[in-house]
């Protein structure tokens, strides 16, 4: 593989990269004004004697936003949103994803409840006064659990293309992609599969996503960084447990916003939106016409603007040409 700005080959097929050195590429891809590297560092929080939760901490003042990614993703999925916001925030790697340790689920415990348990500890340490918790997909379901069980940590809740109405049919395309091959012979093979799944995204953005979310093995092959046995929407029991989260929605008292992608790749439909409106009458609904399920990847600057407005903070960083 030839040398590239977002991943460098050493000539032997091994690829190295600096996870904090790609922000200029994010900004260039989406037209976000860029005046130098942002203040970002990776931090870890002990959530149990033998487990840590990893996160990217943006800025030098207390975080105003908490960003929680979807299944099979990691904290870097929010990079462009964070650049556009230009506000202090923290983006977590969920347990069993990114650089975080593997999840521990107690007998009879919902997966999302176990995730929320760890996230609550980490928010309490890193962002106890954050104004908005933003959860996408699995991160959104986790955020619903969090809002119901730890309302003191969630002043406003933004759900990105998710409600408890998710089911096998709605999530099939995503689940099929996540449950693909366990390993890939080369980076290019992994990239080709990712491009096929995300035909509307630029190759450069998908290349960065893979570098953040995959690991090259000793034999030169690649595997995803997340633990495959912790895939979202794994089985009927998982779907049933997800549906039970409507009861958690009923206990939510803080302002709620649903961000819904309107392309076919979305997992939210009109029935889900209506059910959320019924259970949370004052919920704010935002439709993103040119986004699918991963609104943060398809329309990150526009999402940042809506999140800033929801939080009542200054607008997003200026875009080039504005």
Rounded to whole angstroms, the Cα distance separating 291 from 308 reads 18
Average pLDDT value for the chain: 90
pLDDT band at 6; cut points 50, 70, 90: very low
Rounded to whole angstroms, the Cα distance separating 299 from 85 reads 13
Rounded to whole angstroms, the Cα distance separating 241 from 264 reads 25
- Burial class of 87 by CB neighbour count within 10 A (0 to 12, 13 to 18, 19+): buried
Q: Please indicate, yes or no, if residue 71 is contained in any of the structural domains.
A: yes
Q: Please indicate, yes or no, if residue 2 is contained in any of the structural domains.
A: no
pLDDT at 58 over 80: yes
Expressed as residue numbers, the domain containing 120 is 23-166+234-311
128-183 residue pLDDT tens: 999 999 999 999 999 999 999 999 999 999 999 999 998 888 888 888 898 889 89
Residue 29, CA distances (Å) to 23, 119, 297, 298 in order: 10, 31, 11, 11
Q: Please indicate, yes or no, if residue 221 is contained in any of the structural domains.
A: no
Q: Please indicate, yes or no, if residue 211 is contained in any of the structural domains.
A: no
Q: How many domains does the chain have?
A: 1
- Annotated active-site residue in 69, 76, 226, 293: 293
Catalytic residue list contains 137: yes
Q: Please indicate, yes or no, if residue 187 is contained in any of the structural domains.
A: no
For the domain that residue 294 is a member of, what is the CATH number? Answer: 3.40.50.1820
pLDDT at 31 over 60: yes
Which pair of structure tokens corresponds to residue 4?
């590239």
The residue with greater pLDDT, 217 or 4, is 217
Q: Please indicate, yes or no, if residue 285 is contained in any of the structural domains.
A: yes
To which residue do tokens 């992608």 refer? 261
Catalytic residue list contains 161: yes
Strand bridging mode 65-68 / 132-136 = parallel
Assess contact for 74 and 54: CB atoms under 8 A: no
- Annotated active-site residue in 25, 93, 161, 272: 161
Assess contact for 242 and 236: CB atoms under 8 A: no
Q: Please indicate, yes or no, if residue 12 is contained in any of the structural domains.
A: no
Sign of CA dihedral 11, 15, 20, 26: positive
pLDDT for 228 equals 63
pLDDT for 10 equals 46
Q: Please indicate, yes or no, if residue 296 is contained in any of the structural domains.
A: yes
Catalytic residue list contains 79: no
- Annotated active-site residue in 96, 137, 266, 294: 137
Assess contact for 175 and 186: CB atoms under 8 A: no
217-229 residue pLDDT tens: 999 999 999 986 5
237-296 residue pLDDT tens: 565 568 889 999 999 999 999 999 999 999 999 999 999 999 999 999 999 999 999 999
pLDDT for 141 equals 96
pLDDT for 178 equals 86
Which pair of structure tokens corresponds to residue 193?
């599969």
To which residue do tokens 């959860």 refer? 135
């Amino acid at each position: 593989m030839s040398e590239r700005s977002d991943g460098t080959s050493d000539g032997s097929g091994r690829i190295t990269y600096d996870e904090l050195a790609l922000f200029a590429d994010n900004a260039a891809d989406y037209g976000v004004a860029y005046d130098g590297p942002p203040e970002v560092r990776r931090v870890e929080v002990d959530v149990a004697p033998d487990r840590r939760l990893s996160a990217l901490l943006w800025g030098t003042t207390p975080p105003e936003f908490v960003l929680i990614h979807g299944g099979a993703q990691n904290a870097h999925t929010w990079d462009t949103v964070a650049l556009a916001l230009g506000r202090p925030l923290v983006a977590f790697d969920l347990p069993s994803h990114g650089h975080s340790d593997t999840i521990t689920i107690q007998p009879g415990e919902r997966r999302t409840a176990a995730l929320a348990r760890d996230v609550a500890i980490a928010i309490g340490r890193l962002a106890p006064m954050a104004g908005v918790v933003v959860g996408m997909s699995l991160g959104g379901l986790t955020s619903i659990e969090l809002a119901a069980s730890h309302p003191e940590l969630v002043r406003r809740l933004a759900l990105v293309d998710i409600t408890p109405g998710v089911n096998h049919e709605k999530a099939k395309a995503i689940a099929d992609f996540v449950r693909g091959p366990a390993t890939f012979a080369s980076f290019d093979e992994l990239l080709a599969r990712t491009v096929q799944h995300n035909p509307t995204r630029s190759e450069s953005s998908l290349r960065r996503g893979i570098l953040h979310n995959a690991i090259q093995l000793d034999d030169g092959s690649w595997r995803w960084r997340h633990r495959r046995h912790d895939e979202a929407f794994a089985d009927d029991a998982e779907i049933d447990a997800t549906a039970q989260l409507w009861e958690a929605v009923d206990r939510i008292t803080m302002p709620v916003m649903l961000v819904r992608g309107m392309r076919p790749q979305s997992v939210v439909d009109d029935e889900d939106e209506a059910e959320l409106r019924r259970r949370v009458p004052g919920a704010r609904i935002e439709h993103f016409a040119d986004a699918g399920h991963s609104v943060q990847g398809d329309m990150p600057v526009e999402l940042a603007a809506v999140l800033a407005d929801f939080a009542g903070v200054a607008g997003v960083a200026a875009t080039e040409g504005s």
